[in-house]
Chains A and B, each alone.
Chain A
Amino acid sequence: MTEVKPDGVQGFRRARRILWVLVALAAIGGLILVIGTGGGDRKNGTAASAGLGIGGPFTLTAADGTVLTDKRLKGRPFAIFFGFTRCPDVCPTSLARMAQLRERLGPDGDKFDIVFVSVDPQHDKPADIGSYVALFRTPIIGATGSDEQLAQIQKAYGVIVRKVPVEGGDYTVDHSAAVFLMDRNGRFVTTIDYHENDQTALEKLRRIIV
């Protein structure tokens, strides 16, 4: 024989059950967010554990000497990559690939900007970056900044940059090899990984230019 409870108690229990369901849903939702963005970003060498929060305000000097800010890039999606001109392998490979992917997108290739930020201002002056990006034969916005300005954008994008000494008093720069894809409002969408195949990279680019 079932026990008959007064309405008030049953109502309280129902409310409590609904609350627990909400808590569970929120937990699952949170987990999906972490898996969906966090895992991938860790793999891409960014310090940010979740995709949320990548991007934001920055101020740099463009290759032509003008001020380049996040606001100036607004209105067009962009792909942003961090490197240095003395990097003989991953930087030219990644930028050449962006140029090639842009070509493969046909007329849509003009619908996004490619931005290259040198994290080695000691060697790379804005004009040097300009002549470097010009070699890729596609418009690339080259930029760099003061140590403080670079620290700000590296933090905003969760980019890892480490100077490592080499023989002869010189140094090389370890840095995140991912290309960050941002929408027309400067919001983070996804990254293109160094090892990722072209087909996946193309699909990702199409996502930011829609």
Chain B
Amino acid sequence: MHITTRAALAASLFAAATPLLAQLVTAGPLRIDQPWSRQTAPGQKAGGGFLNITNQGRIDDRLIAASSPIANEVQIHRMTVEDGVMKMRQMTDGLALPAGKTVALKPGGYHLMFMGLKRPLELGDNIPVTLRFQRQGAVTVRFKVRPITATSVSGGRHD
């Protein structure tokens, strides 16, 4: 690992340890709400990220990519259960954000996939993730790490 990346990682981890004041980020017409993730175990090399994105503008936008210092790669995925079989697919063209609509990335649907985790996601972490939008550009938000049993940013067991 290069010194610069290591320093960047250390800085981001320090930032991740600072308490989260608000989970709502507004960037232009985009309102990014309730980003959260599930804790992972050591040895678990991937995790999921969930959030709501509302396009309050009059022009469609698109989430085209995401990245985070805690993962080698962040992909946009869609999960479906078809005929009882769970299928997860990368959305290589990104995720459409129609004008005036909220798109939820939540369990049972879309999620961000943190692939090649550099360390486990631990309870209390606030993971920085940079989202790249076709029109709005890059926006960094922090994903609150919740118990593995959580079903939403506030729901589930062991709060």
B17: chain A residues at CB < 8 Å are: none
A92 nearest in chain B by CB position: B148
A99: chain B residues at CB < 8 Å are: 149, 157
**38-92 of chain B: CB within 8 A of chain A:** 38-48, 73, 75, 77, 79, 81-90, 92
Query: Which of B82, B84, B148 contacts A178, CB < 8 Å?
Result: B84
Check A88–B85 contact: CB distance below 8 A. no
Check B44–A85 contact: CB distance below 8 A. yes
Check A134–B41 contact: CB distance below 8 A. yes
Check A45–B148 contact: CB distance below 8 A. no
Interface residues on A, range: 35 or more
Interface majority SS on B: helix, strand, loop or mixed? strand
Query: In the assembly, what is the distance between CA of A124 and CA of B84, in Å?
Result: 23
Check B79–A90 contact: CB distance below 8 A. yes
Query: In the assembly, what is the distance between CA of A175 and CA of B81, in Å?
Result: 9
Check A176–B43 contact: CB distance below 8 A. no
A176: chain B residues at CB < 8 Å are: 84-86
Known: A88-B111, A167-B75, A167-B92. A93 touches B84 (CB 8 A): no
**45-84 of chain A: CB within 8 A of chain B:** 45-46, 83
Query: In the assembly, what is the distance between CA of A172 and CA of B46, in Å?
Result: 11
Tell whether A5 is near chain B: CB-to-CB under 8 Å: no
Tell whether A181 is near chain B: CB-to-CB under 8 Å: no
Query: In the assembly, what is the distance between CA of A178 and CA of B83, in Å?
Result: 10
Q: Which of A92, A100, A166, A195 gathers most chain B CB within 10 Å?
A: A92
**13 pairs of residues in contact across A and B, judged by CB atoms under 8 Å:** A85-B46, A88-B46, A92-B38, A92-B149, A103-B157, A123-B45, A128-B42, A164-B89, A168-B115, A174-B87, A176-B85, A177-B86, A195-B81
Interface of B toward A, CB cutoff 8 Å: 38-48, 73, 75, 77, 79, 81-90, 92, 107-108, 111, 113-116, 147-151, 156-158
